[in-house]
Chain A
Amino acid sequence: MLIRKPADLRYSDVTPRQVYVNRRRFLAGSLAFGALAGVAQAGMKLSDVRKTSYNVGEDKLTPLEAITHYNNFYEFGTDKGDPAENSRNFRTSPWTLKVEGEVAKPKTFDLDGLLKIAPLEERIYRHRCTERWSIVVPWIGFPLATLLKQVEPTPKAKYVAFETYFDAKQMPRARWGGIEFPYVEGLRLDEAMHPLALLAVGLYGETLPNQDGAPIRLVVPWKYGYKSAKSLVKIRLVEKQPPTTWNLAAPNEYGFYSNVNPKVDHPRWSQAKERRLGELFNRDTLMFNGYSEVASLYAGMDLHKYY
């Protein structure tokens, strides 16, 4: 069972009916097109998805409408509504994801290959943005560790660097983003190998909407949202700590680790509380966003220094 209460909650219960019905109509069309072209498109039903015990207790799922119309995806504009508007014609096919660097077996995946790397599973995660809002998302994907094991990291591999898609032609609004593109992110290898670290290819039972990082994105639920890079094109195992986009833009505000931590403030605002989308008042932010099982990764580290 996904959520303890109420039993058998269906997606249609949380998604506004209007949106839901329209999506079906839209899907009927795109499915036909997808079948002809033989490729995965945003918003396609994903089958054979295993349910898992990863959930968030009594917290409600954030409606699909909010998850798809309140996004930070600066390549498509800096306003929260911009990505939904400007990513409509974003081409996610053909797509390749290269996995390379300090590995014994570098690999390149195409769109169909991405869906077959590992059995797909659904995980309900909290997602906490550094801007003090949060959502609860039923992601579909597979552990990042599964992919990393397949390429066999060499002993030199200490970090994992992620690079996301960038094309100024498809993303003309990126020039106003105020950050460097392509967007890059990174994890320590042990963080990347943690069972919670997910590569997501879908949410709410379907392939990822473009504005949420189609066709494949990283999800690291114990870190601030910007660590979970979208629309990945390259994963590179490296020896030294790789550069990360927000850290380059404002090093005093965004560190490499960026673990959700209510005790370490952003220089310009407190991180002690957050607003769950759909709620009027703030709620307390939890250490590691409630994922205390990752604490051992940071044993002995001063998290004020390594923010």
Chain B
Amino acid sequence: MVVFAACLIPFLLLAWPFYKLLTTGNAPELTANPVEYITHDTGTWTIRFLLITLCVTPLRRILKQPKLVRYRRMLGLFAFFYVCLHFMTWFVLDKSFSLSDMWADVVKRRFITVGMLGFVLLLPLAITSTAGWVRRLGFAKWQRLHRLIYFAGLAGVIHYMWLVKSDERLPLMYGAMLAVLMVYRFFMWNAPSKRAVSRPTAASVTTPRTASLPD
């Protein structure tokens, strides 16, 4: 509950000033260009939540806190929540609900192409995030599907990188974080002693939500 509330803070810090902006026309918190600020902020929080979600597996091993896994779905869904806000801000306030304008940008602008790709990759993950879907797909398949998050994270970082004009510090920082998290996984997957743990076979998965360790 506490974690859930914390994850909502960035949203509330946008929603409340936005409400003020619509009702009073004044919201200094959102800067002189509120639409740009909201677009950038929701985008940044999407990347942050993707990275936080990817931290869960390493952290539970390093800290020996396997229970942390129960936050993972929620964190991932918050990444999806923020990417939806990000997308809607762009689609509504920049593209004025025009599907043809949107498509023209997706095709023509590579940073939008890769951003849209990241968004699309997250859709099946959000849809299949329920326990029912884990059962329906079978755990091994479900886990393989959810590895799409690595590519969504990469798409997000590249999207950011290609957007900035010249100061690339922030996208590089997020890129470095993603790289660290991926390098950790690479070594985990290739560490023979842990192999059984990190790559559970279908047979070993009896109680997926508590015992297994999908990355």
**Chain A interface (Cβ within 8 Å of chain B)?**
16, 62, 65-66, 69-70, 74, 78, 80-81, 131, 133, 176-179, 249-250, 265, 268-270, 275, 277-278, 280-282
- Give the interface SS of chain B, mostly helix, strand, loop or mixed: helix
Q: Could you tell me the distance in whole angstroms from the C-beta of B99 to the nearest C-beta in chain A?
A: 16
Instruction: Give complex CA distance A281, B111 in Å.
Output: 22
Question: Which A residues lie within 8 Å of B36 (CB)?
Answer: 133, 275
B31 and A268 contact, CB distance less than 8 A: no
B105 and A78 contact, CB distance less than 8 A: no
Whether A275 contacts B33 in the complex (CB less than 8 A), given A268-B111, A281-B93, A281-B96, comes out as: yes
Binding-face segment, B52-60, B165-173, B174-182, B193-201? B165-173
Instruction: Give complex CA distance A268, B32 in Å.
Output: 23
Question: Which B residues lie within 8 Å of A275 (CB)?
Answer: 33, 35-36
Q: Could you tell me the distance in whole angstroms from the C-beta of B133 to the nearest C-beta in chain A?
A: 37
Q: Could you tell me the distance in whole angstroms from the C-beta of A148 to the nearest C-beta in chain B?
A: 31
List 15 A-B residue pairs with CB atoms under 8 Å apart, sorted by A's residue number: A16-B26, A65-B28, A66-B32, A78-B165, A80-B31, A80-B32, A133-B33, A177-B167, A250-B165, A268-B109, A268-B111, A268-B162, A275-B36, A280-B93, A281-B96
Q: Could you tell me the distance in whole angstroms from the C-beta of A232 to the nearest C-beta in chain B?
A: 22
B109 and A282 contact, CB distance less than 8 A: no
Question: Which A residues lie within 8 Å of B26 (CB)?
Answer: 16
The one of B93, B108, B166 that contacts A249, using a Cβ cutoff of 8 Å: B166
A179 and B166 contact, CB distance less than 8 A: yes
Instruction: Give complex CA distance A62, B167 in Å.
Output: 27
Instruction: Give complex CA distance A281, B105 in Å.
Output: 17
The one of B31, B35, B163 that contacts A280, using a Cβ cutoff of 8 Å: B35
**Most chain-A CB neighbours within 10 Å: which of B31, B33, B111?**
B33
A69 and B166 contact, CB distance less than 8 A: no
B166 and A78 contact, CB distance less than 8 A: yes
**The 7 residue pairs across chains A and B that have the minimum distance between CB atoms:** A178-B166, A66-B32, A70-B32, A78-B167, A277-B32, A178-B167, A179-B166
In the complex, the number of residue pairs spanning A and B with C-beta atoms less than 8 Å apart equals: 56
B167 and A176 contact, CB distance less than 8 A: yes
**Chain B interface (Cβ within 8 Å of chain A)?**
26, 28, 31-36, 93-94, 96, 105, 108-111, 162-163, 165-169
Q: Could you tell me the distance in whole angstroms from the C-beta of B45 to the nearest C-beta in chain A?
A: 17
B31 and A177 contact, CB distance less than 8 A: no
20 new A-B contacts at CB < 8 Å, known A16-B26, A268-B109: A65-B28, A65-B32, A69-B31, A74-B166, A74-B167, A78-B165, A78-B166, A80-B32, A80-B33, A131-B165, A133-B33, A178-B167, A265-B108, A269-B105, A270-B105, A277-B33, A280-B35, A280-B93, A281-B96, A282-B94
Whether A178 contacts B165 in the complex (CB less than 8 A), given A268-B111, A280-B93, A282-B96, comes out as: yes
For A278, give the chain B residue with the smallest CB separation.
B32
A268 and B163 contact, CB distance less than 8 A: yes
Question: Which A residues lie within 8 Å of B165 (CB)?
Answer: 78, 131, 178, 250
B32 and A69 contact, CB distance less than 8 A: yes
Instruction: Give complex CA distance A62, B32 in Å.
Output: 10
Question: Which A residues lie within 8 Å of B169 (CB)?
Answer: 176
Instruction: Give complex CA distance A278, B96 in Å.
Output: 17
Instruction: Give complex CA distance A248, B48 in Å.
Output: 33
For A277, give the chain B residue with the smallest CB separation.
B32
Instruction: Give complex CA distance A249, B31 in Å.
Output: 27
Question: Which A residues lie within 8 Å of B31 (CB)?
Answer: 69-70, 80-81
Q: Could you tell me the distance in whole angstroms from the C-beta of B105 to the nearest C-beta in chain A?
A: 7
Instruction: Give complex CA distance A69, B110 in Å.
Output: 30
Whether A269 contacts B167 in the complex (CB less than 8 A), given A16-B26, A133-B33, comes out as: no
Instruction: Give complex CA distance A277, B32 in Å.
Output: 6
Question: Which B residues lie within 8 Å of A278 (CB)?
Answer: 32
Question: Which A residues lie within 8 Å of B108 (CB)?
Answer: 265
For B167, give the chain A residue with the smallest CB separation.
A78
Question: Which B residues lie within 8 Å of A65 (CB)?
Answer: 28, 32
Q: Could you tell me the distance in whole angstroms from the C-beta of A45 to the nearest C-beta in chain B?
A: 24
Question: Which B residues lie within 8 Å of A69 (CB)?
Answer: 31-32
Question: Which A residues lie within 8 Å of B93 (CB)?
Answer: 280-281
For A19, give the chain B residue with the smallest CB separation.
B28
Q: Could you tell me the distance in whole angstroms from the C-beta of A136 to the nearest C-beta in chain B?
A: 13
Question: Which B residues lie within 8 Å of A269 (CB)?
Answer: 105, 109
Question: Which B residues lie within 8 Å of A80 (CB)?
Answer: 31-33
B162 and A70 contact, CB distance less than 8 A: no
Instruction: Give complex CA distance A277, B34 in Å.
Output: 8
For A130, give the chain B residue with the smallest CB separation.
B165
